Structure 1
Amino acid sequence: MSAVDRAHAEIRGAIIEGRYEPGVMLSESELASALGVSRTPVRTALARLQDEGWVTIYSKRGALVRGLSAEELHHSADVRQTLQIIGVERAGEEDRAAVRPRLEEMLVKQERALADGPFDTFVDFAIRFHRVFVELAGNPLFTDFYDKLRDRQAMMLLRSESVVVERASEVVGEHRELMELAVAGEVVAFAETLRQHRDEIFKPLVRAAGGEGESVG
């Protein structure tokens, strides 16, 4: 891995995990010192992160960590939800039945992670769980696009940790209900349950971003 790639991965990871919170100004020289690289790869990494929407660079001042606006939260949730619904809608009965063992295994691991931690293990299995519904469409472009939203989905979940942990049994139960509806091919019920599930988890985050009372999508 090049110095640029390493700097990019480290800084992006810190933003996603909340170690660099929205509104924090990042210094090139301080980042370079912390990462053990020169300022040049850090500068290139920050430019890439700006293109990806994670920071805003201010000349001679540094890079400001961006938060996700309510609108961005809605748009991201809309795309993820639509891809999952299409996957369930397009899948045949055999394909839907075939994913049940994978989903059940992930549910067990989610429950264990919520009980014993760490929380980022739950986040990983939750994202992989929802991705299975996208895979059902059999369209690699769908899964590729879904994967591009993974970092934002992870950040949303990590910043909703208190809500998820407080509702741990309900969250796993909602995931189990989604699995049952998907396997049964109940597309309309799956879509409504998915919407309600996302609203319960992400509404506090949307309110904090300035979208009080709105559905997350």
Structure 2
Amino acid sequence: MLKKQQLYHQLKNDIQQLHWQPGIVLTQQQLSAHYGVSRIVVRDVQQQLLNEGWLTTHGKAGMQVPPFNADEADELAMLRLQLEPLALKLAAPTLSFTLLGQAEDVLLTLSSTPELSPYQRGELNWQFHRLLYQSCNKPHLLGLLEKLHQQVSRYLGYQDQTQSYTQTSATEHQQLLTLLRRGDTEGACAVLTEHIATANTKLVSYLRNK
């Protein structure tokens, strides 16, 4: 039987893989039977995913997988564009080669493990970015970015699947590392800004025209 944390990861993965399609209503009874867990475990996981924006309430008995929304994607990117370059700028002066090496290891895992699910790739993507930001020594800023990532990751996984954006993202991540190793903070922040903005433009355009 799946435990709560296992169900949390499995349900997020299944939503990202579109096993549970956007718009579908999921009841505790349905998920309990499908995953072989108690309704108490399902309730706790549903509440966690509700807080993270992966589910929305629907009536008295269910929660819905929300549709992908161009306006929401655009707003999330707007927040990223304000917060992530700030975090990188603050972190860069004390960003050690050890942290950069760890970030490169994450990129190596992403590039050498094609069987990773979209959910796993999203988690590694955030791990890469967090390694670059963590030495900013601003715990509230990092906390905001952590919460933002939980909402953004659903869209990033969707973009990887629908627009084959993985290779473009990998190239830009490598450019970030190169610039940071050179001590070019301004250049790295510019690449990060372009990285977020370009991906968002493509995603929003796709969502509005599909």
TM-score norm. by structure 1 comes to 0.74
On the 8 A contact 1:93/1:183 being kept in 2, the answer is no
Q: Which runs of 5+ in 2 are unaligned?
A: none
2:173 corresponds in structure 1 to 175
Partner of 1:110: 110
2:203 aligned residue: 205
Q: Deviations over 1:112-132 (max 9, x none)?
A: 13xx32244433332211112
Per the TM alignment, residue 144 of structure 1 is displaced from its structure 2 partner at its CA by 2.3
Is the CA contact (8 Å cut-off) linking 1:159 and 1:205 kept in structure 2? no
Conserved 8 A contact 2:100-2:131: no
Deviation of 1:36 (Å): 2.9
Q: Please list every run of 5 or more consecutive structure 1 residues that lacks an aligned counterpart in the other structure.
A: 213-217
Is the alpha carbon distance of 1:74 and 1:134 closer, same or farther for their aligned partners in structure 2, counting shifts above 3 Å?
Answer: farther
In structure 2, what is the equivalent of residue 148 of structure 1? 147
Q: Does 1:24 align with 2:24?
A: yes
Q: 2:191 aligns with which of 193, 197, 209?
A: 193
Contact 1:85–1:133 at 8 Å: present in 2 too?
Answer: no
Aligned to 2:85: 85
Identity of aligned residues (%): 20
Question: Aligned AA for 1:126?
Answer: N
Quickly say closer, same or farther: Cα 1:136–1:77, change in 2 above 3 A: farther
Change (3 A) 1:129 1:164: farther
Amino acid at match of 1:87: A
Distance 1:155 1:91 in 2: 26
> For 2:16 and 2:44, how far apart are their aligned partners in 1?
19
Superposition deviation, residue 23 in structure 1: 0.9
1:64 paired to 2:85: no
Greater mean deviation of Cα atoms: 65-74 or 3-12: 3-12
The Cα of 1:7 is off from its aligned counterpart by 5.8
1:182-203 alpha-carbon deviations (Å, 9 max, x no partner): 3444344333322322344344
Q: Would the alpha carbon gap of residues 10 and 77 (structure 1) be closer, same or farther in structure 2, given more than 3 Å must change?
A: same
| CA distances 1:130-165 after superposition (whole Å, capped 9, x unpaired) | 112221312222222222233323322221124664
Q: Give the 3 Å change call, closer, same or farther, for CA 149–17 of structure 1 in structure 2.
A: farther
Which AA in structure 1 matches 2:136?
A
- Residue by residue over 1:89-116, the C-alpha shift from the partner in whole angstroms, topping out at 9 and shown as x without a partner, is 2235453544321222222222213xx3
In 1, the alpha carbon distance for the partners of 2:49 and 2:92 equals 40
Relative distance call for 1:172 and 1:46 in structure 2 (3 A) is closer
Q: 1:108 and 1:45 mapped to 2: Cα distance?
A: 31
Aligned pair in 2 of structure 1 residues 24, 125: CA closer, same or farther (>3 Å)? same
Report the TM-score when normalising by structure 2. Answer: 0.76
Alpha carbons 1:174, 1:197 under 8 Å: kept: yes
> Match for 2:56: what amino acid?
V
- Structure 1 position 49, deviation (Å): 4.1
Higher mean C-alpha deviation, range 87-96 or range 126-135: 87-96
Q: 1:92 to 1:24 in 2, by over 3 A?
A: closer
3-state SS in 2 of match to 1:26: strand
Q: Following the alignment from structure 1 to structure 2, what is the Cα–Cα distance between the partners of residues 136 and 15?
A: 33
Residue 72 (structure 1) shift? 2.2
